Structure 1
């Protein structure tokens, strides 16, 4: 785990420590009843927490373990976890709580771009992260700007991978598609190919460049 991400996670734990974690959560009396919190079975809890089980304070108390699990294992789904945030109106939370989550998202994104393939548990690629960020109610432009400002080989490989995933024949407007179609992205992929032309991933860069030229 990158140092910046470790610091961000420590900040999340520190900020949300004010919400005691309960061993048993109150569930809907008609469908769930009381629910035992078991960190070895977090997935089933992520589905119901904040809906039929627990309160907003319970969501906050468990957020540190959820966010850490996302980057160290593949057991949870980022979109489900981060999708709880807008439902709990996280942009109305105390400022330090919002800042801790923002710092976590930024650190995850930078760590993901720093490695290809990524080493971030459930965040298996750039598309997974951006989808989860949308689920959190965040504007993806914030993260695309960081991508623009990260001209590394690993970030370029993520870029080529993203180009290969997008269906450019769809007529429906797409913010990501428009961002990828920019001349700046084509030029970046061309420079990346020239730099890494003798690498194992040179063909991926070339294919992505050709897709954007069509």
Structure 2
């Protein structure tokens, strides 16, 4: 339960997966989706699970995940290896549908659990901040007025953070308006990921 000191990451993850703090507000009920290992060197912070991920319980198990893996230059074996890559979204459960897509991630997840989780991940060298919610939380006043400007100015946040647009197919218009992202920044991302996921 929140407020408890957990001796291991495994115990903490079990507690997070049992969390029911937002149950009354979740249309499909609670099903926290995240994974991590305390040797992971990369952390992926996205928004919140969609319906498909809620159903399967596998993070990024959708077309967005396929594109993200392509951007990173990794296959599923590497992507889902919790000893190398941790996946902790801003919201752990599907928040429901809004007027223009899914609702924002609920704030309780970060409030109750995020600091505890990060404290159990001492080897993280690179955090991928995917979308505005992750960028707002981790970059605070350092982020720019638009997501495009934040991503374009990625050097200001490197090497600790790398801000990215969301890889959702719904974001294709953004990618077309900003071709520099896939032409330039994806190569930087792949090089960093390869360095941090290759056994030394």
Taking structure 2 as the reference length, the TM-score comes to: 0.29
**Larger RCO (CA within 8 A; separation ≥ 6):** 2
User: Higher helix share goes to which structure?
Assistant: 1
User: Higher strand share goes to which structure?
Assistant: 2
Computing the radius of gyration from Cα coordinates, the structure with the larger value is 1
Taking structure 1 as the reference length, the TM-score comes to: 0.27
